Amino acid sequence: MRVALFLTCVNDTLYPDTGRAVVKLLTRLGVDVDFPMSQTCCGQAHYNTGYRHEAEPLARHFSDVFRDYEAIVTPSGSCGAMVRELYPRMGERARAEGRGESLATTLAPVVPKTYELTEFLVDVLGVTDVGAHYPHTVTYHPTCHGLRGLGLGDRPRRLLQAVKGLELKELPGADECCGFGGTFALKNADVSAAMGADKVRNAESTGAEVLCAADNSCLMHIGGTMGRLESGMRPVHIAEILASTEEEPAV
């Protein structure tokens, strides 16, 4: 199976380790991974801040880059939800504005083929034990767009529970937003910071070493808050845990 990795602009620029982990993990599971070099950004930040017209060309570009692959895999629930949920909506809106069928038609092929990583592992590859080894205590934060947007359900937790050596701790208030919200973190910094601090306190109460999530943008906010609060915890993307083995452990 030949799949395209849609790494997202945030991962590419700030979290290349997550990308390397996805490549390592999928290759180990027998998947032929390609990274189309012309990929950029799905347009979510533009769309969610109200710049729908700026987001449209980015969505078109995304479709041009990825339309010929069998599947598109992304280690981001948030960007995955952008493609799966909001691209069809952008198409509908363009149609309602009398701008023809073109955008909706262009975007349609990539929508059903785009999978968030844990969804791809469980639903497409049909695995929950990916042969990982990670001897740490971990608590899992289900990010909003993964939880309520894509409906990832218990897929990430099932994958984590099958990791050897990993002890999973329940996170109190797990389904509450961490307060990132893209430009929300800047536009409403006080509220965002208060939400982040509460998330970190809840995570600390589990006694886990690691807070894990399937979205680096939320982890950037939570990790940045942990750093400032001098918490002993570390934020780690779920891909890095699933890629970790006894021979090649994640740091």
Partner 1 sequence: MSGTFVGMPAFPEAAHEAVNNRTLRGNLRHATHTIRAKREKAVSEVSDWAELREAGKQIKDHTLRHLDRYLVQLEESVVAAGGTVHWAADADEANEIVTKLVQMTGESEVVKVKSMATQEIGLNEALEAEGIRAYETDLAELIVQLGKDRPSHILVPAIHRNRGEIRDIFAREMSEWGRPAPEGLTDTPAELAEAARLHLREKFLRAKVGISGANFMVADTGTLVVVESEGNGRMCLTLPETLISVVGIEKIVPTWQDLEVFLQTLPRSSTAERMNPYTSTWTGTRDGRAGEGDGPQNFHLVLLDNGRSDTLADEVGRQALRCIRCSACLNVCPVYERAGGHAYGSVYPGPIGAILSPQLRGTASEIDASLPYASSLCGACYEVCPVAIDIPEVLVHLRERIVEGGPVVREGNKVVLKPAKGHAAERAAMRAARWAFAHPGALRTGQRLASRTRRLHPRSLPGPGKAWSGTRDLPAVPAEPFRDWWQRTNGGKESGK
Site for partner 1 in 39-68 (CB under 8 A): 39-41, 43, 45-55, 57-58, 61
The interface region with partner 1, picked from 6-14, 123-131, 155-163, 236-244 by CB under 8 A, is: 6-14
Residues 179 and 187: beta-carbon distance below 8 Å = no
Give the nearer residue to partner 1 in terms of CB position, either 9 or 125.
Answer: 9
Give the nearer residue to partner 1 in terms of CB position, either 39 or 206.
Answer: 39
Q: Cβ of residue 208: shortest distance to partner 1, in angstroms?
A: 20
Site for partner 1 in 220-249 (CB under 8 A): 220-221, 223-225, 227-228
Tell me, residue by residue from 189 to 208, as one string, x for binding to partner 1 by CB under 8 A and - for no binding. Answer: xxxxxxxxx-----------
Q: Cβ of residue 13: shortest distance to partner 1, in angstroms?
A: 5
Q: How far apart are CA 146 and CA 118, in angstroms?
A: 10
Give the nearer residue to partner 1 in terms of CB position, either 91 or 181.
Answer: 181
Site for partner 1 in 125-184 (CB under 8 A): 144-145, 148-149, 175-177, 179-184
Give the nearer residue to partner 1 in terms of CB position, either 107 or 144.
Answer: 144
Find tokens 């996170």 and name the residue.
Answer: 171
Nearest to 39 by CA among 60, 53, 15, 22: 60
Site for partner 1 in 99-118 (CB under 8 A): none
Q: Locate 138 and state its tokens.
A: 């971990």
Q: Locate 153 and state its tokens.
A: 């359900």
Find tokens 């990583």 and name the residue.
Answer: 117
Give the nearer residue to partner 1 in terms of CB position, either 125 or 197.
Answer: 197
Number of Cα atoms under 13 Å in the Cβ half of residue 9: 11
Residue 243: what are its φ and ψ, rounded to 5°? -85, -20
Residues 169 and 208: beta-carbon distance below 8 Å = yes
What single DSSP character describes residue 150? S
